[in-house]
Structure 1
Amino acid sequence: MTSSSEKRSRRQTLWALGGDVSGAFGDLGTLLPYVIAATTLGVLAPRPVFIGFAVGYLLVALLYRAPIAVQPMKALGAMMLVGGLTAGETALVGTTLGLILLALAATPYLGRAARALPQSVTVGLQAGLGLMLVALALKMMATGWWLALPAMAALGLSWLWPRGPWALLVVVAALWLAPGDTLPAAMNATPVGDGISPTSVAGGVLAQLPLTLLNAVVVAAAVSHSLFPGAAARVSERRLAASSGLLNLVLTPLGAMPMCHGAGGMAAHYRFGARSLIAPLTMAAACALAALQGDAIVAWLVAIPTPVVGALLAFAGIELTLSKRLFDARPDCRPVIGATAVATLIGGALVGLVAGLASERLRRHLVHRRATGVPPRRG
C-alpha cells in the first residue's frame, strides 16, 4: 500500500512537472510576435526559424540545465518588420553578431565590465526593459480586451500557485476558441529580398549589439542568478555571450532568426512555473514539431489571438520589473533605479545605461559629501 507521504511526493512531482511544461510556453508573448510577422511577411521561412529555436533551447538545456530563454533579437526583428533588412542581410548581421559575441566571450573583459556596472543601474535597466514589455503588451491587448482580460485573470492565478499550468491552459484555450483560419499564403513563400546593403548590415549590427550586451548578457546573468540560484555557477556573462554567439554564427546563415538570451524571457519562464531543464527541453520539442510537422503546427501558432499573446507578454514584463532586488535596494539607490528605468522606457537600453551611470555618479558624489560633512551645493 502506498503511504500518504509517497502520494504527497508524487503529487508534488507531477505539479512541478506541470509547472515546467507550462513555464516552457511562458515566453510566447515575446517569441510569437516577431516570428509570426517575419514568416508571414516572407522575410524568413518558418521551418529554419523554428529549427533554430529548437536547437537553441536544446543547447540551453544541455549547457545551463535551467530555463534560460532563447528569444528573437528585438532590434533586428523590428528592422525586419519595417522592411529594413532582407533575408540575406539578416543572415549576415546574425553571423557578424555571432562572431563579435564569441570574440568578447573569449576575453575576461566582458565579465569585468559586467561586475563594474553598479547594481542600481542593472536593476534600473531590468525594470525599464520590463516596462517596455508592458507597454507593448498593452497595445496588443487593446486590440481585443474581451480576450485579454480573461487571459489576464487566468494568468493571475500564477501569483497564488506559481507552478500551475496557467500559461499552457491559456494557450490551449486560445487555440480552441480561435476561428479556423487557413494558413496565410506568405507562410509558404520563399524568403524575399536577397540583396545585401553594407549600410543596412552595419546599421543592424550597431542597433542590436548594445541591446544584446546589456539585456541578453549583463542583465540576463543577474536575473538568472536571482531566479535560478542553483544554476548560478553555470551561468555567467561570458557563457551567455558564447552560447548566443555560437547559435547566431551557425544557424542564421541557414535561415534562422537571430537569437539571444533575453532577461524578460527568463522572467516569463519563471513566472509560469519553469524551474528545471524540463522547460527548455519541452520548448525544444515544441519548436522541433513546429518545424518538422509542417504548416499545421505553424498555423496553430498564428491562430493564437494577439490579445492573448499580449497578456502573456504583460506578465513577463511585470515579473521583470518587480524584481526582488528592486525591493531590496537601499533608499538612496531608488532614484537611480527610477531614472534608469524611465530613460530605458523612453529611449531604449543604451540611453538608460548612460542615464543610469550619470545618476549613480551623482548619487555617490552626494553620499561622499554627506559623509565628509560638506553639504551638497544647492542649485
Structure 2
Amino acid sequence: MAYSSSVAAESDLEFSTSELTGALGDSVTVLPLLVALAATTSVSLPHVLVGFGVFQIVWGIYYGMPMSIEPMKALIGLAIVGSLSYPELAAAGLLAGGVLLAVGKLGLVGQLQRVVGEPVIRGVQFAVALLLLEAAVGLSAGNVPVAVAGLAVVGCLALVGYRAASVLLILAIGSVAAVATTGVPTPRLPELALFPAGTPTLSTGALEGTVAQLGMTVGNAAIATALLCGDLYDRDVSPDTLSRSMGATCLAAIPIGGIPMCHGSGGLAGKYAFGARTGGANVLLGVGYLALALVATGALLAAFPVAVLGVLLVVVALELARAAFEPVADRRSLAVVVGVGAVGLAVNVGVAFVLGAVAFWVLSSRA
C-alpha cells in the first residue's frame, strides 16, 4: 500500500523485538563516526546524542516508518581528518540546512530526480554500499579475531533464521566489554546552552565542504532514500519532502550543540535488514540515544570493540547492494550502476552522482 501523505497513521508505530533490533541496524553507521568526531574536535558528545535522539523520534512518528537519521558523512569526515573545526562544521551544516529547506520547498529535488534517471540513483545506492564495506574492513582490521567471531555469530544466527537478533547480541556484548573497561559512568544532564561547543564560523573550507556534501545528500539522502522507501516499505515519499525535513533538522539541531544530520539509504537499508518495519524503531532508538546522552563519555564509546560493528556494516552493505541491483533490467543500466558505484568509492558520491547523470544522458541520447 502506498501513502501519498508523509504523516503516519497510529498503526505505523509498533514496539517489538524486531523493531528494536532494526533500530540498532541504523546505529552501527552512526556510533563509530560520533566516537571519532568526539575524539578529534571540540564537539560535545552528549549534545550530539540528544540531537540524534530527538530527531529519530520526530521523523519516526512523522513518516510512520524507520526513517534513517545519519551524520552528513562528507562534512563529518572533513572534521575528523582536521580539515574543518567544529565551528566550521556547524556553519557548513547550517548553510546546507538552509539550502536543503529552500530547494525542497521549491520542488527542485523532485525535478532533478526526473532528469537524472533511475540507474544513476541505483548507482548511488551501490556506491554507499561499497563505502560501508570499506568502513567495515577498516573497523574490523583493528581486531581481526573479534571481527571473525562476530561474523561467525551473525552467520550462524542468519542460517537458523535469526539474523535480526545477531545485532542485539553483538552490541550487548560490546557494551558490556566497554563498561568493564571504563566502569559505570555517572548520569549527567547535558548543559542547556546555545552553540555549547563553539560559535559557527564560515570559512572557505566550510563552503567547499558544503558543496561536496550537498551533492552527496541530494543523490543519496533525498533521491535514493525516496526510491528505497518505495522498494522496501511501499511508501510514496517525495525527495523534496525528505530535503525539507533534513533542512529543518540541521537548522534546529546545530544551535543546541548537534551536528549536520540527514536521511540516507544506508541507514534505511540497515533498519530494514535487521527487522524494522514501522516508526516505532525510531522511537526506541531515539530513547536509547537520549539515555546514552546521560552517560556518554568519549572514553566509554572509545572502549567499545568497533571491530564487531564492522561485521554489522557488512550486513547493511549487502542489503543496500541487493536493493540497488535487483530492479536493473538491461546492460546499459547495469553499466551505469556499476560505474557510479566505482566512482563513488574512488572519489566521492557527489562526483559520482554528477558524472553518472551526464553518462546516463549521453547513453540515452544515443539509444
TM-score (norm 2): 0.86
Contact 2:41 2:85 in 1 (8 A): no
The within-5 A match list for 1:1-379 is 17-156=16-155, 157-158=157-158, 161=161, 164-178=164-178, 180-182=180-182, 196-229=201-234, 232-233=235-236, 235-291=237-293, 293-295=294-296, 300-323=300-323, 325-326=325-326, 328-366=328-366, 368=367
CA RMSD in angstroms comes to 2.7
Name the CA distance, whole Å, in 2 between partners of 1:68 and 1:118. Answer: 23
* Helix, strand or coil at the partner of 2:106: coil
> Which amino acid in 1 is paired with 2:355?
A
Contact 2:70 2:264 in 1 (8 A): yes
Contact 2:163 2:274 in 1 (8 A): yes
Deviations 1:6-39 (A, max 9, x none): xxxxxxxxx9821110111112221012111222
Name the CA distance, whole Å, in 2 between partners of 1:164 and 1:112. Answer: 37
Name the CA distance, whole Å, in 2 between partners of 1:100 and 1:332. Answer: 33
Contact 2:91 2:202 in 1 (8 A): no
CA 1:19–1:300 in 2, change beyond 3 Å: closer, same or farther? farther
> Which amino acid in 2 is paired with 1:240?
L
Moved more, 84-93 or 255-264: 84-93
> Which amino acid in 1 is paired with 2:359?
S
> Which amino acid in 2 is paired with 1:175?
S
Structure 1: 4+ residue segments shifted above 6 A: 190-193
Deviations 1:121-177 (A, max 9, x none): 111111111111101211211111211122123333347636732211110022234
CA 1:96–1:16 in 2, change beyond 3 Å: closer, same or farther? closer
Contact 1:66 1:275 in 2 (8 A): yes
Name the CA distance, whole Å, in 2 between partners of 1:158 and 1:16. Answer: 22
Gaps of 5+ in 1: 1-14, 369-379
Contact 1:158 1:271 in 2 (8 A): no
Residue identity (%): 29
Contact 1:130 1:320 in 2 (8 A): yes
CA 1:221–1:241 in 2, change beyond 3 Å: closer, same or farther? same
* Helix, strand or coil at the partner of 1:44: coil
> Which amino acid in 2 is paired with 1:51?
V
Moved more, 155-164 or 219-228: 155-164
CA 1:309–1:257 in 2, change beyond 3 Å: closer, same or farther? same
Deviations 1:204-258 (A, max 9, x none): 21221111111110111111211111xx13x221111111111100111221011
Q: How much has 1:327 moved relative to structure 2?
A: 5.1
CA 1:19–1:299 in 2, change beyond 3 Å: closer, same or farther? farther
Q: How much has 1:57 moved relative to structure 2?
A: 0.3
Contact 1:92 1:253 in 2 (8 A): no
Gaps of 5+ in 2: 1-13
Contact 1:21 1:165 in 2 (8 A): no
Q: Which has the larger radius of gyration?
A: 1
Name the CA distance, whole Å, in 1 between partners of 2:152 and 2:266. Answer: 21
Name the CA distance, whole Å, in 1 between partners of 2:51 and 2:197. Answer: 19
Deviations 1:315-364 (A, max 9, x none): 22221112165354223421222222212211111222233234323433
TM-score (norm 1): 0.83
Contact 2:15 2:281 in 1 (8 A): no
Q: How much has 1:304 moved relative to structure 2?
A: 2.0
Name the CA distance, whole Å, in 1 between partners of 2:200 and 2:57. Answer: 32
CA 1:287–1:365 in 2, change beyond 3 Å: closer, same or farther? same
Deviations 1:37-93 (A, max 9, x none): 222334210121011001110111121011111001101111111222222222221
CA 1:72–1:273 in 2, change beyond 3 Å: closer, same or farther? same
Contact 1:28 1:309 in 2 (8 A): no
> Which amino acid in 1 is paired with 2:216?
L
Q: How many residues align?
A: 346
Q: How much has 1:300 moved relative to structure 2?
A: 4.7
